[in-house]
Amino acid sequence: MSTPLRIGIVGLGTVGAGVVKLLTDNRDLITGRAGRPIDIIAVNARDRSKDRGVDLSPYRWQDDASAMASADDIDVVIELIGGADGLAVSLARKVLENGKGFVTANKAMIAHHGGELARAAERSGSPLKYEAAVAGGIPVIKALGGGAAANEIKSLFGILNGTCNYILTEMESKGSSFDDVLQAAQALGYAEADPTFDIDGIDAAHKLAILASLAFGTELDFDHVETRGIREIETADVERAAALGYRIRLVGEARLDGDRLLQRVHPVLVPLDHPLAKVTGSLNAVVADGDFVGRLTFEGAGAGAGPTASAVVADLIDIARGEAVHAFGVPVDSQIKMQPGDHEQGIGRSYIRAAVADQPGVMADITAILRDCGVSIESLIQRGDGSDGGDVFIAIITHETQLHRTAQAVEKIAALGSVIQPPMRMDLLN
């Protein structure tokens, strides 16, 4: 029998336990596809006594995770503890410096330190794999770095955070408020106790920065991902968007604009007939446009023990086969350093929502501001007559224009004395 690929696992949470279960339950199938056995040698986690639903007795318990980096009987270390810094990145550095393979599901670490780690992997000739870091079980990293490698990718966009997508689609289907759906998502385990990374768009921004670097051959640039989450979205926005023929989704977008790389994560209005409008619940989707292959669409479970463990083991199978590729598709020194783009310099259509006092002249003031800023109205919905002391809700879809003009108009509308709460703007997906 061929020499086994010997692995150590650091982190035995939901995904770590899922990797153990998958390697155990599908051992024969995985051996056949990898061309040799993949054997777990050692494991590590914070709590040795915790019941994780899998039998860990056959494996060495490694109290010091960093010791796996130099262990003679380990070829590959899997990191599943998370966090951009701390133990995760120090372990990655040691593993790669010692010439061992490194597999991770840690999108924050790759987004912040991927360039450094890829360079370390090149120096030592070791594989650095991170399929599970983006979109869970969807093989988008492999597709962009391998299957579509002959294409020039023009743009990519997608739904990259299942928690936000779940919240938005629940607001659509049940008419519930953002806060109520978030609490329900936390109770079901779809959202963390501290949901900041998800609902403020940071998690999606990590993934977008990774995808952009891989797709365009550019240096990782997480710091310049324009990021905005979904906290501001109200049930009324969801309802008005539907009435106007749209659904709201948190979308990550990246494209090259000359010598600039535009990256942003933001809530957008998506036409009902667009593929992303049909992505519901906690699913993820990534769409990439190649010059020869055309539009590629990937959709599936973006998180969870099974899908994420599947992606981790797929990386292990690649390593076992001896498939050597650069972590970001090209050598680090070949990556292009781009200036950050500014989406406000582009052209597009926008949704503007405002709550205003019910008094004469308010709509005239708003339309005058839009006119003076060079923004014309495509459609408008007005609800509420103020008779019960409530405010009037206005939702506007603009015609296509320079987005900085729309931003300027929103600022001027916010300064009106009749505006009860700051107006909110979302762009429409192009």
Question: Architecture of 5-133 per CATH?
Answer: 3-Layer(aba) Sandwich (3.40)
Buried b / exposed e across 305-340, counting CB within 10 Å, b at 16+?
Answer: bbbbbbbbbbbbbbbbeeeeebbbbbebeebeebee
- What pLDDT shows up at residue 324? 79
Do 204 and 252 contact (CB within 8 A), yes or no?
yes
CA distance 242 to 279: 15
The Cβ-side half-sphere exposure at 45, using a 13 Å CA radius, reads 18
63-116 tens-digit pLDDT: 999 999 999 999 999 999 999 999 999 999 999 999 999 999 999 999 999 999
In the residue annotation, 207 being an active-site residue is answered as yes
> What is the pLDDT at residue 386?
47
Which comes out higher in pLDDT, residue 424 or 291?
Answer: 424
Confidence at residue 42, expressed as pLDDT on a 0 to 100 scale: 97
User: What token pair was written down for 159?
Assistant: 């739904």
pLDDT category at 19 given cuts 50, 70, 90 is very high
The 10s digit of each residue's pLDDT in 145-182 is 876 777 888 899 999 999 999 999 999 999 999 999 99
b/e sequence 148-163, b meaning 16+ C-beta within 10 Å: beebebebbbbbbbbb
Residues of the chain with CATH 3.30.360.10: 140-301
Please tell me the predicted confidence (pLDDT) of residue 360: 85
Task: Copy the structure tokens of residue 392.
Answer: 């009037």
Residues of the chain with CATH 3.40.50.720: 5-133
| Count of all residues that appear for the chain in the document | 430
CATH topology of domain 140-301: Dihydrodipicolinate Reductase; domain 2 (3.30.360)
Show the CA angle centred on residue 227, arms to residues 282 and 393, nearest 5°.
80
For 241-265, what is the mean pLDDT?
94
Q: What is the mean pLDDT of the chain?
A: 92
**How confident is the model over 114-135, as pLDDT tens digits?**
999 999 999 999 999 999 999 8
Mean pLDDT of 359-367: 90
Distance CA(136)–CA(149), nearest Å, equals 21
Q: Tell me the CATH number of domain 346-428, given options 3.40.50.620, 1.10.3080.10, 3.40.50.1000, 3.30.70.260.
A: 3.30.70.260
99: alpha, beta or left? (left if phi > 0; alpha if psi -120 to 50):
left
Active-site position among 50, 174, 207, 278 = 207
Q: What residue spans in the chain does CATH classification 3.30.70.260 cover?
A: 346-428
Per-residue pLDDT of 274-325, as tens digits, reads 999 999 998 999 999 888 888 888 998 877 788 899 999 999 999 999 987 8
